[in-house]
Amino acid sequence: MTDLTLAIQVHNLCFGFPKGGAILQSCSLEVPKGEFWMLLGTNGSGKSTLLRLLAGLLTAEAGEIEILPPVGFVFQNPDHQLVMPTVGADVAFGLVQEKLSTLETRQRVEEALSAVNLMAFQRRPIYALSGGQKQRVAIAGAIARHCEVLLLDEPTALLDPDSQLDLVTQVQKLVASRGLTALWVTHRLEELDYCDGAFLLENGQVVDKGDPQRLRERLMQMEVPEL
């Protein structure tokens, strides 16, 4: 049943935490290969849980997931993700399991850092970077591993508006230039301008999907007016 035009296929996925009740209930979605999609939904609707299931960090109770490997994950807080002291060392760390030669590792790190415009930062200590630069290092880690799919869980939540714009356009460019597929969780509706499509998650199910501007208008009407 594999459809080669899709990078992510989720069919009737069910998941709940012990004593936590159902989080995902017959959740289904499909992301076409080489496209940039976003996932929206209220707090607690199961967005992070769905991403963790897609990344294989959690196991579903029922349903099917098909996702093109390798899969890269970018967390909301890069300080929970970057583990090495410098930019170059952190990107190289993600390649350890691939048992590459020193030369191959260096080439992969350089290629990945130039893809996110951080070539000049290779020897920079992680602590000296801005939040947006740290997120780009996390993305470079995925690119160095030649990830087909990039999952990003509210990657701009801790960023200022300039870094937010920089990151979302960076991912848009990477998808266009490298044929990557990205699924980006957000609650910032202005980011919908940069994606190809979006899903709305409610009560553990995808209740709407498709044109990002239509979804944006729907969600703006749902927002509680300011008092």
Binding interface with Mg ion (CB under 5 A): 47-48
- Residue 45 interface partner, choices Mg ion, ligand ADP, none, CB cut-off 5-8 Å depending on type: ligand ADP
Other CB atoms within a 10 A radius of the CB of residue 123 amount to 9
Q: In angstroms, what CA-CA distances link 65 with 41, 130, 136, 191, 207?
A: 20, 35, 27, 26, 18
- Residue 82 interface partner, choices ligand ADP, Mg ion, none, CB cut-off 5-8 Å depending on type: none
- The minimum distance between CB 75 and ligand ADP, in angstroms, equals 12
Nearest to 171 by CA among 199, 186, 152: 152
- Residue 181 interface partner, choices Mg ion, ligand ADP, none, CB cut-off 5-8 Å depending on type: none
Mapping DSSP onto H, E and C, the string for 20-48 reads: CEEEEEEEEEEEECCCEEEEECCCCCCHH
3-state secondary structure of 196: coil
Which x/- pattern, by CB under 6 A, does the window 35-64 give for ligand ADP?
Answer: ------x-xxxxxxx---------------
Provide the sign of the torsion angle of the four alpha carbons 166, 131, 133, 37, taken in this order: negative
Other CB atoms within a 10 A radius of the CB of residue 115 amount to 20
- Residue 134 interface partner, choices Mg ion, ligand ADP, none, CB cut-off 5-8 Å depending on type: none
- Residue 155 makes contact with ligand ADP by CB under 6 A: no
Among 8, 23, 38, 137, binds ligand ADP (CB under 6 A): 23
- Residue 17 makes contact with ligand ADP by CB under 6 A: yes
- Residue 20 makes contact with ligand ADP by CB under 6 A: yes
Other CB atoms within a 10 A radius of the CB of residue 43 amount to 6
- The minimum distance between CB 92 and ligand ADP, in angstroms, equals 30
Binding site for ligand ADP (CB under 6 A): 17, 20, 23, 41, 43-49
